[in-house]
Chains A and B, each alone.
Chain A
Amino acid sequence: MKTPQSLTAAVAATGILTARNSHADPVADLVAKIKSPDDTVRGPAWQGAASAGAAALTPLAGVMSDADLEVARAARRAVWVIVRHAGRPGAEGERKAVQVALVPLLRGQPAPVGKAVLWMLSEIGDAAAVAPMAALLSDVELREDARCALLRLPGPEVAEALRAAFKTAPEDFKVALAESLRQRGQAVPGYPSQKLVPVKPTSLSPKPGATKPGQ
């Protein structure tokens, strides 16, 4: 039987080992805290995630689809904090590293994750992000977010990607792509803007004996 002093020493040694492990793997520590059922642990974890950097993005992406909605939300917010921190002036190396980590997350993830990543790349992505984002213009679930996110990126590559997608897009998405091409200064004959065309009539109807409109 261990003496209390030995037990205390063992517990202390475990704590030291745990702390060493945390310092050794801050990403694992962050992910563990994000997964905590306790909001007082989760909240500060995601709000303080900035320094975790690109290395944390893939592990966190795996938590963005957690069955616990608040855990999933905390993971998504942690990723946003990392992305926006990396986008600050003078942090070009971090920005590129985050972009490199984000791009693979466009594929093979549940749609909400893919959508979030598209919007993240819209804020910090460069020309290298255009092609992987544009590849999603053919994905029915993600295409509209991809179209919008691409419009935030500068450079001629965006219009080229939109034009390429337009050639093979189904008619119902061609009209949206046409709108984007016009925003980039390109003419799209045969596809006039539909923005002001009403399509949703009301289901309300006058009660018998009611005053008619205009009376």
Chain B
Amino acid sequence: MNDTTALDRRRFLKLTGTAVGAGALGFPTLIPSHVLGAPGQPSPNSQFVVAHIGVGGMGGTHVNNMLRFEQEGKVRIAAVCDCDDNRLEAAWGNTGQRAKPYRDYRYVLERKDIDCVLIATPDHWHAVQTVHACQSGKHVYVEKPASVTVREGQAMVKAARDNKVAVQVGAQARTAKGAWQTCRAIRNGIVGKVAKVTCWHYASPADDKPVPDSAPPEGFDWDLWLGPLPMRPYNRRYQPGTFRWLMESGGGQIRDRGAHQFSTILWCMNADSQTSFTVEATGTLPTQGLWDTAIDMRAVFQFKNPDWTLEWGQPGNKVGTTEFGNVFWGDQGHLVLEWEGGYRPANPEAIAFQLPPGGKEVYRTDEYEDFNMNHKADWFKSIREGHLRPAVDIEIAHRTATLCNLANLSLILGRKLVWDGDRQEVVGDQAANRMLSKPQRYPYCL
């Protein structure tokens, strides 16, 4: 039996009081009654017109997901966009050339017929394109991590709220069965009170064979790929995919996978509102080559009220059998979650867990077995139902990304940081606070 069918998300949000009220960032999140079921809101039976910005890597998965939704009559793919002509042509072909191809995402945003955009560009683009899309009235699905700086994340939250659009961030575990089973088990005391959560993860690569700068490949728009980042000559080590090992873009494993693992952990610990913490990170940086993110790393976050510790480890203490995962250490035992609860099933104990008398159920959208599809279904649902708060709403994802970003900041500054979540600043560290933002190259700026 599906335990969530009796509790749809709209009722769940009303019961928990999260549909209305001020967010922790101080931005009002009241949803006016005219927004719910307002003219222009897609009805349950109408199609969403969608567009893709960034169609390589995970972007290709999003295109395939939307093609399936299109077959089901739920969406129409109107546009695909990429700064790499090779990837663009492939995605365009994948849609049977029904979608219109674009190089410059702003052509997509100026189209009035497009309801929603899915953004899967490198991380340094996420904030600018999300904010611009929100300002253009589009609902957004954007890949994790939400942002590469704290101030970007704040701007994304503001843009979503100001423009009354739903922004879902691609930390799909929160709508996946494995993480959900783990979450309801942890929240209902399977290991008792949890005082510590540890993560293990394999090391990041270092570039042992750096290459000189060169001309960009044919059909690749280097200016558009760089976007907000300062201009510099092209180098083959920037992409594809290897942007993950640059602090200014991917931010290393802690911001890449950590965005998934921390999202699941915060959910399980019911700690989305615990926005203040301390963080101290140490690690080994590469000695040569373009890539500058930590090869191995340890970051310790301390939360108060309730008190608990989150520890990121590369390699960390590997308790499970897979390449990365998490352990919830309680006063009555511990529970392992392999990966982040998406691609892998939950621990058998969590699967078998029965809610105790008086236990609290945890909501999740449950429309597709495929958790990538399910996460997008959750996003569409938030739009149709009018509450505009999908499972990984931008405010939740901003808080997750803040953990990742501040851990990297602690590492490169070589000191412990005290984060005031209410004031959204590092206590007593002006230099660290300067680095909470990085002004973007014009015109690709917030």
Chain A: residues with CB nearer than 8 A to chain B? 39-40, 42-44, 46-47, 50, 69-70, 73-74, 77, 84-85, 87-89, 95, 112, 115, 119, 122-124, 144-145, 147-149, 151-152, 175-176, 179, 194-204, 206-207, 210-215
B290 to chain A minimum Cβ distance, whole angstroms, is 8
Chain B residues in 8 Å Cβ range of A112: 232
Which of A47, A124, A145, A200 is the one whose CB lies under 8 Å from B287? Answer: A47
Surface stretch bound by A, among B61-69, B99-107, B262-270: B99-107
A215 engages B98 (CB within 8 Å): yes
Do most interface residues of chain A lie in helix, strand or loop, or is the interface mixed? helix
A204 engages B101 (CB within 8 Å): yes
Chain B residues in 8 Å Cβ range of A39: 287-288
Say yes or no: is B434 at the interface (Cβ < 8 Å to chain A): yes
B85 engages A204 (CB within 8 Å): yes
Say yes or no: is B443 at the interface (Cβ < 8 Å to chain A): yes
Chain B residues in 8 Å Cβ range of A198: 104-107, 109-110
Interface residue count on the B side (C-beta < 8 Å): 55
Complex: how many Å from CA A203 to CA B442? 23
B213 to chain A minimum Cβ distance, whole angstroms, is 8
Which of A44, A151, A196 is the one whose CB lies under 8 Å from B136? Answer: A196
B439 engages A202 (CB within 8 Å): no
Residue of A nearest to B292 (CB): A77
Complex: how many Å from CA A149 to CA B441? 10
Interchain Cβ contacts under 8 Å between A and B, 26 examples: A70-B288, A73-B288, A73-B289, A74-B287, A74-B288, A85-B414, A88-B415, A88-B431, A122-B434, A123-B435, A144-B230, A152-B439, A195-B132, A195-B444, A195-B445, A196-B135, A197-B106, A199-B104, A201-B103, A202-B103, A202-B104, A203-B219, A204-B85, A213-B100, A214-B98, A215-B98
Chain A residues in 8 Å Cβ range of B285: 47
Residue of A nearest to B97 (CB): A210
B304 to chain A minimum Cβ distance, whole angstroms, is 21
B434 engages A152 (CB within 8 Å): yes
Which of A70, A148, A211 is the one whose CB lies under 8 Å from B441? Answer: A148
Say yes or no: is B89 at the interface (Cβ < 8 Å to chain A): yes
Complex: how many Å from CA A58 to CA B79? 51
Complex: how many Å from CA A213 to CA B428? 55
Say yes or no: is B413 at the interface (Cβ < 8 Å to chain A): yes
B78 engages A194 (CB within 8 Å): no
A196 engages B210 (CB within 8 Å): no
Residue of B nearest to A125 (CB): B434
Say yes or no: is B70 at the interface (Cβ < 8 Å to chain A): no
A204 engages B109 (CB within 8 Å): no
Say yes or no: is B212 at the interface (Cβ < 8 Å to chain A): yes
Complex: how many Å from CA A64 to CA B292? 17
Which of B85, B100, B105, B443 is the one whose CB lies under 8 Å from A194? Answer: B443
Which of B97, B210, B431 is the one whose CB lies under 8 Å from A69? Answer: B210
B98 engages A200 (CB within 8 Å): no
Question: Given contacts A42-B287, A123-B434, is CB(A200)–CB(B221) below 8 Å?
Answer: yes
Complex: how many Å from CA A74 to CA B292? 12
Say yes or no: is B437 at the interface (Cβ < 8 Å to chain A): yes
A84 engages B414 (CB within 8 Å): yes
Chain B residues in 8 Å Cβ range of A194: 443
B440 engages A148 (CB within 8 Å): yes
Most buried by A among B85, B99, B287: B287
Complex: how many Å from CA A196 to CA B404? 29
Complex: how many Å from CA A128 to CA B88? 48
Which of B99, B104, B292, B414 is the one whose CB lies under 8 Å from A213? Answer: B99
Complex: how many Å from CA A204 to CA B97? 11
B287 to chain A minimum Cβ distance, whole angstroms, is 3
Q: Which of B412-446 contact A (CB under 8 A)?
A: 412-415, 428-431, 434-435, 437-445
Complex: how many Å from CA A152 to CA B439? 7
Complex: how many Å from CA A112 to CA B233? 10
Say yes or no: is B15 at the interface (Cβ < 8 Å to chain A): no
B347 to chain A minimum Cβ distance, whole angstroms, is 39
Complex: how many Å from CA A43 to CA B207? 13
Chain A residues in 8 Å Cβ range of B232: 112
Say yes or no: is B96 at the interface (Cβ < 8 Å to chain A): yes
B37 to chain A minimum Cβ distance, whole angstroms, is 28
A76 to chain B minimum Cβ distance, whole angstroms, is 11
B286 to chain A minimum Cβ distance, whole angstroms, is 8
B437 to chain A minimum Cβ distance, whole angstroms, is 7
B100 engages A196 (CB within 8 Å): no
Residue of A nearest to B212 (CB): A69
Say yes or no: is B92 at the interface (Cβ < 8 Å to chain A): yes
